[in-house]
Structure 1
Amino acid sequence: MTASSENCISSCTCHALPSCCASSQSSLTKLAPLEAVLFDIDGTLCDSDPLHYLAFREMLLEIGFNGGAPITEEFFIETVAGKHNDDIALALFPGDLERGLKFVNDKEAMFRRLAAEQLKPLNGLDKVRKWIENHGLKRAAVTNAPRENAELMISLLGLSDFFEAVIIGGECEHAKPHPDPYLKGLEALKASKDHTFVFEDSVSGIKAGVAAGMPVIGLTTRNPENLLMEAKPAFLIKDYDDPKLWAALEELDKAGAPSV
């Protein structure tokens, strides 16, 4: 992908599709015939980061972290978003992993309480779900979230019967940004990386999908576009209603259609 294409995708918010965006979308056509789609969960199926941020902010305030000052969203993005809990624990409590793990476990319990009341799907999720079902594609969720969180969010979103597998980073040899969780997802579905793409919203997640050899469509749910582009997604979309996504899927359909 050229630098000019990256700049266009990062900044393109229009409904018309510039030629540089269209050329990036065509990177999906090589996947035809498509076999499977892999999804991250937090920030990809739902805008859950504000709930995680609230839980971290409130609980860190209670223990006087950062001199008693609330953590910023920038700190959350750099230290927490998309990362495995073991890494978060070490970042927050260096040298005291036991305390850090207890803290993040307590924080996850608070998150689940908030999610049960406030979790909502990203715009257009039902539309892309139907597209995947209508095409008979295999699908799995691949996340660094704890299994209890992952299964709760999937249930709250009404997707328990949609996913054929739920892969947890902490249950793999290495979590994201390593490719292991996505490779395990492919293995669970018996799908080829050459006929599968990924939806992701974080730098670590995009890196994991790319390292596993698949095109990754990045969602700009919360993370800065310039940071996401550094991880080399195929292109970025705002949500599942984004015209760029549907133009790419239409091209993919055409590429996979039998010749007459």
Structure 2
Amino acid sequence: MILEPGYENDKVGKFDDISGIAPLQTVLFDIDGTLCHSESLHYLALKELLPTIGFNNGIPFTKEFYVKNFSGKHNSEIEVSLFSKDHDDAFKLKFGDDLFEIFKRLAVEQLEPVKGLNKMCEWIKKRGYKRAAVTNCPRKNAEFILKTLGLTDFFDVLVIGNECENPKPFPDPYLKALQLLGESAAHAFVFEDSVCGIKSGVAAGMPVIGLTTSNKDQKSLLEAKPAFLIKDYEDPKLWTALEQLDNLA
């Protein structure tokens, strides 16, 4: 893999804050659990559909099981947990379509942005920073969520994990976003909510601000080496860091 400009191996995992990227030029976001509280809806959709295919002998699984085994992961990884060798491609395709329809039904009434997201987006737009949405979820899911949130036009680029050489936790999706934007990791940071996503952003040479919206196990998030963790986009810790960036710029 050819690494994008700004990727520095000696910096990976050593970001204690985001001040070192000044001047800031680019902000990258994951989607599920980072822009909106969609992980709970994915969980409910799976919980509704999985008993119909005999998963776990029809016994419902817990939210903790979902976070550990599914949250932030690419579909190919999830399929290993869900399907046996008896399930052919047609079965998997129908399962995916059915799951998406259940998710859409739930999202129409229940999808909510993470608190303070609009404030964060306005801050970015006012300063003219480039932005990308980078996700492991399928393109149709990502486009549906962005449309529902009214953010389709906010993002300059949408990068899908399975359209890259390797999905998250590899750095490829974030490196591809930087390449498409014509920007450097040296002046960018990432918002993520999963262990898988944080590892991806850090491996791409950028500081990652982790959100605790989906995974309440802060220990596992911290082990992925984010710059710091926030509750949501109204967290004072975030705005203190952003004010510092403004002052440095």
- TM-score (norm: length of structure 1): 0.86
Residues 90 and 100, structure 1, Cα contact 8 Å, conserved in 2: no
- Structure 1 position 150, deviation (Å): 0.6
* 1:129-185 deviation digits (Å, cap 9, x = unpaired): 010011110000000111111111111111111100100001111111111000000
Letter paired with 1:76: Y
- Equivalence map 1:111-260=2 (5 Å): 111-223=103-215, 224-256=217-249
* 1:67-119 deviation digits (Å, cap 9, x = unpaired): 22101112101111101112111111143463445423421222122212221
Residues 82 and 202, structure 1, Cα contact 8 Å, conserved in 2: yes
- Structure 1 position 57, deviation (Å): 0.5
Structure 2: distance between partners of 1:75 and 1:26: 30
97 and 44 in structure 1: CA distance in 2 versus 1, 3 angstrom threshold: farther
Letter paired with 1:157: L
Q: Secondary structure at the match of 1:166?
A: strand
Residues 15 and 226, structure 2, Cα contact 8 Å, conserved in 1: no
Q: Say which of 14, 20, 33 aligns to 1:30.
A: 20
Structure 2: distance between partners of 1:105 and 1:211: 32
Letter paired with 1:229: L
1:103 alignment counterpart: 95
Q: Secondary structure at the match of 2:112?
A: coil
- Structure 1 position 51, deviation (Å): 0.5
Q: Secondary structure at the match of 1:27?
A: coil
Q: Which runs of 5+ in 2 are unaligned?
A: 1-13
* 1:35-92 deviation digits (Å, cap 9, x = unpaired): 1000000000001011000010111122332122101112101111101112111111
Residues 89 and 97, structure 1, Cα contact 8 Å, conserved in 2: no
Q: Which runs of 5+ in 1 are unaligned?
A: 1-23
Residues 89 and 104, structure 1, Cα contact 8 Å, conserved in 2: no
Runs of 4+ in 1 over 2 A off after TM superposition: 24-27, 94-106
Q: Say which of 29, 32, 35 aligns to 1:42.
A: 32
Letter paired with 1:177: P
Letter paired with 2:115: N
Structure 2: distance between partners of 1:77 and 1:214: 24
Structure 2: distance between partners of 1:65 and 1:31: 46
Q: Secondary structure at the match of 2:18?
A: helix
2:8 alignment counterpart: none
Residues 207 and 232, structure 1, Cα contact 8 Å, conserved in 2: yes
100 and 41 in structure 1: CA distance in 2 versus 1, 3 angstrom threshold: same
Structure 2: distance between partners of 1:171 and 1:105: 19
Letter paired with 2:205: G
Structure 2: distance between partners of 1:164 and 1:41: 14
- CA RMSD of superposed structures (Å): 1.6
Residues 237 and 244, structure 1, Cα contact 8 Å, conserved in 2: yes
Q: Secondary structure at the match of 2:197?
A: helix
Residues 176 and 204, structure 1, Cα contact 8 Å, conserved in 2: yes
1:54 alignment counterpart: 44
- Structure 1 position 33, deviation (Å): 0.7
